[in-house]
A and B are shown apart, each in its own frame.
Chain A
Amino acid sequence: MAPPTKRRTGHSKKAQFSAFTGYLVAALGVLIGAGLLALSAWKPESMSSLRAEATDLAMPAGRAGAEVRSDSQGLIQAIAGYFDAGNKNARLKREMEEARVHLAEAKAIETENHRLKALLGLRNEEVKPIAFARLIGSSSASTRRFAYLSAGSSQGVQPGMPVRSPLGLVGRVLEVGDASARVMLLTDTASMVPVRRNTDNIVAFAEGRADGTLRLRLINLGINPLKKGDIFVTSGAGGIFRPGIAVAMVEKVTHDGAMALPLANPAATIHVAIDPVWVPQAAEIAAQPAPGGPQ
């Protein structure tokens, strides 16, 4: 292809000046970009209101897309359901038998729990979610793992609040607009959640690795007691997440902890609940930028 001749401005002063100004502004753009990037690294929250406004404006399109996504998933599941109806029926019957047994066991544990809690003088409080919302999108081209949520400050959502699905913890709210919010997913590289093993009190930090897995780092180093299949739940340390929300399952044991898969896979999650910050005093700390760098 022949080279474009538009670069030559000829003798026209006007054309020369406009070409010159174009390059000048482009160079300014480089400087402005570098400056804003440095500002974002220094004060990550400085642009959050601008981002929240923009997401608010673009929200209707995202919400329509999320609806299509949940509808189409339902349709595919309905069609797939016809293909293994017989197998499924038998399996469900067996599972129901097992579930009955488990239910009886759970009732026993519940009564015991009640008795022990009464013994300790603890109140039995139920955490009511602040809002229910959809995940409508995510930063799928970036190495950071953020998701957009279809609820904002008008529904009572505040920065720092835990976001969970019925299967477990999804992340926590980072920035809030009027009708939208940005969620830092568990798998983000700056996300760090204090967790413990559900059967005992082995505590660890669950760090995101940006590829859909978590890295569990044990706090007490020594002989690694973890096994594949161990379930980790939030420990309540730090005061943001209430104790006992399911987080991850160990996939591979390493020398100082394990690689784990989050139980609530955000890709398969459509509806999420936003819980209040567990210890209200932690809300101020939670409102501060995420540890580990810019957002």
Chain B
Amino acid sequence: MSPERRMNARMTATHRDRFGKTINRDHSVLLAHGIPLITILLGSLAPLLPVIAAGPVMPPFGFMILLAWRIVRPGLLPPWIGLPLGAFDDLFSGQPFGNAILLWSIAMLAMDAVEARFPWRGFWQDWATASGMIVAYLVLGALFAGGNFSPERFILIVPQLLLSVLLFPIIARMVAFFDRVRLFRVKVIG
């Protein structure tokens, strides 16, 4: 059978369910639970990219990918995931250890609270929620970072804030793509 015909065959009545199990094909537990974790961990490794920045300019990719997964698939990441993933982020981010553990855990609980308060969601609401979270994360991160950082110098992180907020919908689309990869059906026997 040619590849085109095979593609078409999936769309027939017996294969109309895009998500469930089909004959000989099923979701992989490894992919379904591994891909969200891997993408967040890779986002946390962004400081090892060969960019020696003069100031804080790069968005906090690990945190943004975590938020995007939380919004795209509520309930996929357990509320305690901020503890292990935040600890990993702290190892590379340059922030004092504990910063991401604290803020990511709070963010997961806050997302639950927002979801309980405003259950019917849409694009603009999701973007607004994520923007609020990112702004709070970066401002608190700057306060926790130490050094001789005085509060009147918050103008320093404004470009980073704007870039992160504008970039979030794109990250959310990327995560939506990874969500389809996550539910890719692989060959199973039996």
Interface residues of A (CB under 8 A from B): 1-4, 6-7, 22-23, 25-30, 32-41, 44, 46-47, 50-51, 54-55, 58, 61-62, 65-66, 68-69, 135-148, 187-190, 207-212, 265-267, 269, 292-295
Are A190 and B119 interface neighbours, CB within 8 A? no
Are B97 and A51 interface neighbours, CB within 8 A? yes
B94 interfacial contact with A, CB 8 Å? yes
Stretch at the interface among B10-18, B45-53, B169-177, B180-188: B45-53
B37 interfacial contact with A, CB 8 Å? no
B135 interfacial contact with A, CB 8 Å? no
Measured between beta carbons, the chain B residues less than 8 angstroms from A207 are 148
Check A137/B51 contact, CB under 8 A, given A58-B45, A143-B56, A292-B146. Answer: yes
Interface residues of B (CB under 8 A from A): 45-61, 74-75, 78-80, 82-83, 86, 88, 90-106, 108-109, 115-116, 119-122, 141-142, 144-149, 153, 156-157, 160
Closest to A185 in B: B52
Measured between beta carbons, the chain A residues less than 8 angstroms from B142 are 143
The CA of A139 and the CA of B116, in the complex, are separated in Å by 35
The CA of A3 and the CA of B122, in the complex, are separated in Å by 10
List, sorted by A's number, 6 A–B pairs whose CB atoms are closer than 8 Å: A29-B83, A36-B102, A40-B98, A148-B47, A267-B54, A292-B148
Measured between beta carbons, the chain B residues less than 8 angstroms from A189 are 145-149
The CA of A143 and the CA of B157, in the complex, are separated in Å by 8
A3, A29, A145, A211: which contacts B115 (Cβ < 8 A)? A3
Are A36 and B97 interface neighbours, CB within 8 A? yes
Measured between beta carbons, the chain B residues less than 8 angstroms from A39 are 97-98
Measured between beta carbons, the chain A residues less than 8 angstroms from B46 are 140-141
Measured between beta carbons, the chain A residues less than 8 angstroms from B94 are 138-139, 141-142, 144-146
Closest to B82 in A: A29
Are B48 and A58 interface neighbours, CB within 8 A? yes
A35, A37, A69, A138: which contacts B53 (Cβ < 8 A)? A138
Are B108 and A293 interface neighbours, CB within 8 A? no
Are A143 and B141 interface neighbours, CB within 8 A? yes
Q: Which 9 A-B pairs have the closest CB atoms?
A: A139-B94, A33-B102, A36-B98, A212-B54, A189-B147, A33-B101, A3-B119, A37-B98, A293-B146
Check A144/B95 contact, CB under 8 A, given A22-B80, A41-B146, A65-B50. Answer: yes
B55, B80, B104: which contacts A25 (Cβ < 8 A)? B80
Write the nearest CB–CB distance from A172 to chain B, whole angstroms: 15
A34, A61, A188, A269: which contacts B102 (Cβ < 8 A)? A34
Q: A137-B51, A292-B148 given. 4 additional CB < 8 A pairs?
A: A1-B121, A29-B80, A36-B97, A294-B96
Are A141 and B109 interface neighbours, CB within 8 A? no
Check A143/B91 contact, CB under 8 A, given A30-B106, A148-B47, A188-B147. Answer: no
Are B120 and A1 interface neighbours, CB within 8 A? yes
Write the nearest CB–CB distance from A278 to chain B, whole angstroms: 24
Measured between beta carbons, the chain B residues less than 8 angstroms from A141 are 46-47, 56, 58-61, 93-94, 160
Check A140/B53 contact, CB under 8 A, given A28-B83, A41-B146, A189-B147. Answer: yes
Check A210/B55 contact, CB under 8 A, given A139-B93, A144-B147. Answer: yes
Measured between beta carbons, the chain A residues less than 8 angstroms from B148 are 189-190, 207, 292-293
Are A33 and B149 interface neighbours, CB within 8 A? no
The CA of A187 and the CA of B53, in the complex, are separated in Å by 11
